[in-house]
Amino acid sequence: MDEILDGTTQIDCDILIIGGGTAGPMAALKAKRKNPDANVILLDKANVKRSGAISMGMDGLNNSVIPGYATPEQYTKEITIANDGIVDQKAVYRYAEESYSIIEELDQFGIRFQKDQNGEYDVKKVHHIGTYVLPMPNGDTVKKALYRQLRKARINIINRYMATRLLTGESRIAGAICVNTRTAEFLVVRAKAVVMSLGAAGRLGLPSSGYLYGTYENASNSGEGYSMAYHAGAGLANLECFQINPLIKDYNGPACAYVAGPMGGYTANAEGERFIECDYWSGQMMQEFYDELQGGKGPVYLKLNHLAEETVAEIERVLHIVERPTRGHFHRGRGTDYRTDMIEMHISEIGFCSGHSASGVFVDEHARTTIDGLYAAGDMANVPHNYMLGAFTNGAFAGLDAVDFIKDVDFAEFDTGEVDAERTRVLAPTKRDDGIPPNQIEYKTRRFVNDYLQPPKVTAKMELAQRRFEEVRHDMETEMYVRDSHELMRALEASAIMDCADMAAAASLYRTESRWGLYHNRVEYERDDENWFCHTILTKGEDGKPAHHKREVQDYIVEIEDDEKDAYNNQRVTKSVAAE
Amino acid sequence: MPLAQTSTFVPVVVDKDLCIADKGCTVCVDVCPLDVLRIAVTEDGPETAYMKYDECWYCMPCEADCPTGAVTVNLPFLLK
Amino acid sequence: MNALFEDFDEIEELAAALDDPSPGARIMAVIDLADSADPAAIPHLARAIKDEAVGVRKQAAQALTDFDGPDAAAALVSALADSDPAVIEAAAISLTELKDPVSGDAILPHLDTTDTIKLKACLAGIKELRRTEAMGPAIDALQHSDNGVRTEAVGVIGWLQDEGSLPALRDAAKDNDTQVRRTALAALGFSKSEHAEATLIQGLADDEWIVREAAAETLAKTGSANCVPHLRSALGDDFWQVRVKAVRSLGKLHAKEAAIEIAPMMDIPVPNLRKECAAVLGEMAVAETLPYLEKYVDDPDPDVRKNVRWAMGKIAA
């Protein structure tokens, strides 16, 4: 295993879905059900059984819009406010309207959502306007249940192939080039439509532990989706709106305050006082988290030690079996007990992830990108704050629309020279006798991301980042060396990470204002609605480097009152107090 | 420019006595999202699973899905 | 080149390996059968769940989670009599994953079992299938000596949402086990009857705080004006967890007369309680509470501050 073989196979399908985590399987199921004759392929660089962000499950939904608890209008309003207004509401609203039917469908798959003693959904109040949190008591079975459905529907699954570039022709999508992660053999897939669901760019910043894979996101989500979309010419929106999350220090997993919140847990400073809103993650909240850490009131903690034994036991039961079950091992190793100790928290390395922010490949309410026949869903598409349920729901939209798209088209012609060029690019590190291993290229890129791109953002630092990235890219392109096909996969990931680092710097420099709290805090600029109340779209320019343009925010379908627009800012203590 | 052989302490441990790789089991290798586990093969055929690459997200499918309880996921030393 | 696609092998071929002399190979066969997601695998798994090797039996019990229907359920019920606790546990978990009400056909005949562990697992399994035939056996099970059995029985009854079961649930609300009482009170949430409300009001005086908490919370669903004075008394409970639920329920019941009692609770140094009080004062929007709210408009606790400002806006509106 892992030796480097020579070979290329070409296959055809109607719809190619790249990424078998959350959105991908739902896209595949919906497409197949809508058109059972369609040839649908679901491809993953890992194994669909356990791939993606929810590899080990999910402990709950924090954006469920369930009739009687929240309305699509309330939800759309809340998401708009949390994202400082830069939201195309149609996609958010459609999600809010249709996600309940997805919950019911998932329930039928055997994915359980918490019910009360009468068998009704047990929605917990956390957010202010509506109530969106729905725990998942057996959330550890999500992937298993999804996989079962894929097998039942007889979806064609290809595991351990990594897509590296999209193919386009006739101004639309034509397919993808893929490499086997265990043999380095190539697979060219011609497809009439392609759905990208490759997850977040989670290996962008370097965790403070220094361990490359100790990331907040599943470390296999290394940003190939963003890189492929970029090279294919698709638009990427608001990449400067980074993902930064509160998490358990060193362990680097989510603290899941939204699980503990309804039971009375909260985030506290060294004095044991709550200092940030626990209701909703926003850039503003992260800014306050950052200020507390930097301002002498840290460390910052998840506080559960004021809760009763019964409650703590319940929280442990949920948090230690689902999503990141090694969390229990971690606390035991440190001798930390929720009953007596507060849990030290920190802020995560930066990443791209629409699940928790508003950046990603630009899509509309049908999950269509700016390239015909190319779709994106889940953490890599720019529907803001869509989390796991958004991935399922938008994945469904992508699958359904793709079935309509393929009706009237045949395979697009593409330039076969592109395949040859990609083979040369991919295999270059295998053709050298020695050189720099991918892990060192990756480490250096990511260390510079931390040094220069981690907010607060400073122009001069970001320009330095660009120079350093250029140097590392040169080393990567001329000297990277791999010994087997597994290392080749890491080399390809390093290349995607480099693309994402470039995009992160370029997008951050383009938007000359501050917005989204810490996510895009540019110290030299204030918020500037007059010039920057718009999406920023990054594309690949003529010179092969990032180019930018502005895109208007769609007219709202749910109006936001003037006094609500700054709801998050308005929650701050009066300025004199905050400045202390 | 030869490569160094720097050692690293890996987080995933497999109990050889419980592992049934010799019966054709590859469950842990299959489910790892980062593809870091392999089956050690000797002259007598497949022997046991082991962690070949220190690239672990400590996510635990290998431990949870192992049919014989042979796999233990520890936290990587750098962050434990 | 390796096979490109995951395969869909013939079930019979996969099942042949169940006769392999090596337990390891049989475990692999069970895993392959589970991955097939093909109902034709169920009879083979039913055979594997009786294998001589514990590992195979346990894997088969887990594998049946991937299937539904009376045959899968019957195999799982049979595994509840296994000699190995790990197999029983796996089968019990898989039973709770059944979705198809028809699967209950295989469970219902076993609800009269004298085996405590089996009864508990069968009750847990039938609960979500919502089979009305389970009501009688579940009510009988309320007399069982095992606390766990009685808790599961209450669950079955609660999910059936039948006003006819009220006397049973009201008895269960007086059970000597805390967990049974707590579950029974929560299960009363569906009822529109004043008897249910009366039982919940009694629950507010329970010795255990988690039972009082359940009572206070559930009254929001089923309570009327009758329970308001009792919820107001619960505002003085020794446990803040109970007070929080009482505040919330008074809010949901629009019991504005309680506002002036809730307002001074803003002074109690329990962050969760203060946050809830401010939110409920906003929902009630009673002008007399304004001075209490004004005190905390710049509270250092952002959740409290947010709710206070929102509440003041509601009163002003």
Contact list, B56 vs chain A (CB under 8 Å): 213
pLDDT of residue A562: 75
- pLDDT > 90? residue B4: no
Contact C25 B23 (CB under 8 A): yes
Contact list, A211 vs chain B (CB under 8 Å): 76, 78-79
Q: Nearest residue of A to residue B62 by CA position? A: A50
- pLDDT > 90? residue A578: no
In 3-state terms chain A splits into helix, strand, coil percentages (rounded to 5) of 40, 20, 40
pLDDT band at A96 (very low <50, low <70, confident <90, very high): very high
Q: Which residues face B45 on adjacent strands?
A: B42
Contact C28 B20 (CB under 8 A): yes
CA distance A444 to chain C (A): 35
Contact list, B23 vs chain C (CB under 8 Å): 22, 24-25, 27-28
A110: nearest CB among C97, C130, C298: C97
What subunits touch chain A, counting only 3 or more CB pairs under 8 A? B, C
- pLDDT > 90? residue A281: no
pLDDT band at A570 (very low <50, low <70, confident <90, very high): low
Contact B35 A211 (CB under 8 A): no
CA distances from A91 to A66, C266, C295 (A): 17, 40, 41
pLDDT of residue A566: 61
Closest CA to A222 of A507, A539, A494: A494
pLDDT of residue A254: 82
Report the percentage of chain A scoring pLDDT > 70: 96
Instruction: Count the Cβ atoms, other than its own, within 10 Å of residue A125.
Output: 16
Closest CA to A4 of A482, A490, A492, A496: A482
Q: Are A430 and A488 in contact (CB under 8 A)?
A: yes
Q: Nearest residue of B to residue A324 by CA position? A: B59
* pLDDT tens digits along A368-425: 999 999 999 999 999 998 899 999 999 999 999 999 999 999 999 999 999 999 999 9
* pLDDT tens digits along A46-85: 999 999 999 888 888 888 999 988 999 999 998 998 899 9
C5: nearest CB among A128, A156, A183: A156
Contact A333 B80 (CB under 8 A): yes
Question: Looking at per-residue confidence, does A213 or A136 come out higher?
Answer: A213
Contact A50 B34 (CB under 8 A): no
Question: What single DSSP character describes residue A480?
Answer: B
CA distance A534 to chain C (A): 28
Does C272 touch chain A if contact means CB atoms closer than 8 Å?
Answer: yes
Contact C55 B67 (CB under 8 A): yes
Q: Nearest residue of A to residue B30 by CA position? A: A47
Q: Nearest residue of C to residue A43 by CA position? A: C5
Question: What single DSSP character describes residue A21?
Answer: S
CA distances from A351 to A103, A425, A492, C235 (A): 28, 26, 18, 46
Does C16 touch chain B if contact means CB atoms closer than 8 Å?
Answer: no
* pLDDT tens digits along C34-46: 999 999 999 999 9
Does C31 touch chain B if contact means CB atoms closer than 8 Å?
Answer: yes
Q: Nearest residue of B to residue C60 by CA position? A: B67
**What average pLDDT does this structure show over C193-215?**
97
Token pair belonging to C246? 């009482």
CA distance A216 to chain B (A): 9
pLDDT of residue B72: 95
ipTM: 0.96
**What average pLDDT does this structure show over A101-124?**
91
Contact A573 C35 (CB under 8 A): no
CA distance A220 to chain B (A): 6
A209: nearest CB among B2, B61, B79: B79
Owner of token pair 């948090």: A319
> In this structure, is the dihedral angle defined by the CA atoms of residues C265, C270, C271 and C275, taken in order, positive or negative?
negative
pLDDT band at A139 (very low <50, low <70, confident <90, very high): confident
Owner of token pair 């893929």: A178
Q: Are C243 and C261 in contact (CB under 8 A)?
A: no
Contact B34 A46 (CB under 8 A): yes
Contacts of A524 (CB under 8 A, 6+ apart): A458, A459
3-state secondary structure of A166: strand
Q: Which residues face A133 on adjacent strands?
A: A124
Interface test with C, best of B15, B16, B17, B23 (most C CBs within 10 A): B23
| Averaged confidence pLDDT in chain A | 92
Closest CA to C206 of C248, C176, C169, C227: C176
CA angle A75, A77, A80 (to 5 degrees): 110
CA angle A122, A128, A132 (to 5 degrees): 30
pLDDT of residue A471: 98
- Phi, psi for residue C157 in degrees, rounded to 5: -65, -45
Of A166-170, A331-335, C7-11, minimum mean pLDDT range: C7-11
Q: Are A148 and A284 in contact (CB under 8 A)?
A: no
Contact C309 A570 (CB under 8 A): yes
Q: Are A369 and A375 in contact (CB under 8 A)?
A: yes
pLDDT of residue A298: 87
Contact A117 C158 (CB under 8 A): yes
Question: Looking at per-residue confidence, does A222 or A113 come out higher?
Answer: A222
Does A332 touch chain C if contact means CB atoms closer than 8 Å?
Answer: no
CA distance A252 to chain B (A): 9
Q: Nearest residue of A to residue B2 by CA position? A: A434
Predicted TM-score (pTM) of this structure:
0.95
Does A308 touch chain C if contact means CB atoms closer than 8 Å?
Answer: yes
Does B67 touch chain C if contact means CB atoms closer than 8 Å?
Answer: yes
Q: Nearest residue of C to residue A138 by CA position? A: C97
Q: In whole angstroms, what is the distance from residue A49 CA to residue A308 CA?
A: 38
pLDDT band at A217 (very low <50, low <70, confident <90, very high): very high
- Phi, psi for residue A45 in degrees, rounded to 5: -80, -15
Token pair belonging to C49? 């769940």
Pairing between β-strand A186-196 and β-strand A8-18 as defined by DSSP bridges: parallel
Amino acid type, A287: Q
Q: Are B68 and C55 in contact (CB under 8 A)?
A: yes
Cα B16 from chain centre? 11
Owner of token pair 């359940």: C214
Q: Are A369 and A363 in contact (CB under 8 A)?
A: yes
Question: Looking at per-residue confidence, does C135 or A131 come out higher?
Answer: C135
3-state secondary structure of C133: helix
Contact list, A185 vs chain C (CB under 8 Å): 1
Which residues 54-73 of B have a C-beta within 8 angstroms of A?
A: 55-61, 64-65, 73
Cα A175 from chain centre? 23
Contact list, B27 vs chain C (CB under 8 Å): 31
Closest CA to A374 of A27, A132, A142, A53: A27
pLDDT of residue A280: 65
- pLDDT > 60? residue A577: no
- pLDDT > 50? residue A468: yes
What subunits touch chain B, counting only 3 or more CB pairs under 8 A? A, C
Amino acid type, C81: A
Closest CA to A502 of A449, A447, A438: A449
- pLDDT > 50? residue C64: yes
Does B29 touch chain A if contact means CB atoms closer than 8 Å?
Answer: no
pLDDT band at A571 (very low <50, low <70, confident <90, very high): low
Does A108 touch chain C if contact means CB atoms closer than 8 Å?
Answer: yes
Does C143 touch chain A if contact means CB atoms closer than 8 Å?
Answer: no
H or E, element range at A224? helix A224-232
> Which residue blocks in A233-371 are alpha helix, DSSP H?
257-260, 283-294, 309-319, 326-334
CA distance A296 to chain C (A): 16
Domains of chain C: 1-106 (1.25.10.10)
Amino acid type, C58: K
Contact A211 B74 (CB under 8 A): no
**What average pLDDT does this structure show over C256-267?**
96
Contacts of C83 (CB under 8 A, 6+ apart): none
Contacts of A451 (CB under 8 A, 6+ apart): A461, A465
Contact C303 A264 (CB under 8 A): no
Q: Nearest residue of B to residue C25 by CA position? A: B23
CA distances from A59 to A114, A301, A338, A539 (A): 10, 20, 18, 36
Contact C183 A117 (CB under 8 A): yes
Closest CA to A372 of A540, A232, A239, A238: A232
Domains of chain B: 12-67 (3.30.70)
Contact C28 B25 (CB under 8 A): yes
Of A436-450, B3-17, C99-113, minimum mean pLDDT range: B3-17
What subunits touch chain C, counting only 3 or more CB pairs under 8 A? A, B
CA distances from C17 to B28, C11, C45 (A): 20, 11, 12
Contact A119 C158 (CB under 8 A): yes
Q: Are A469 and A502 in contact (CB under 8 A)?
A: yes
pLDDT band at C207 (very low <50, low <70, confident <90, very high): very high
Question: Between A485-510 and A416-427, two packed helices, what is the crossing angle to 10 degrees?
Answer: 110
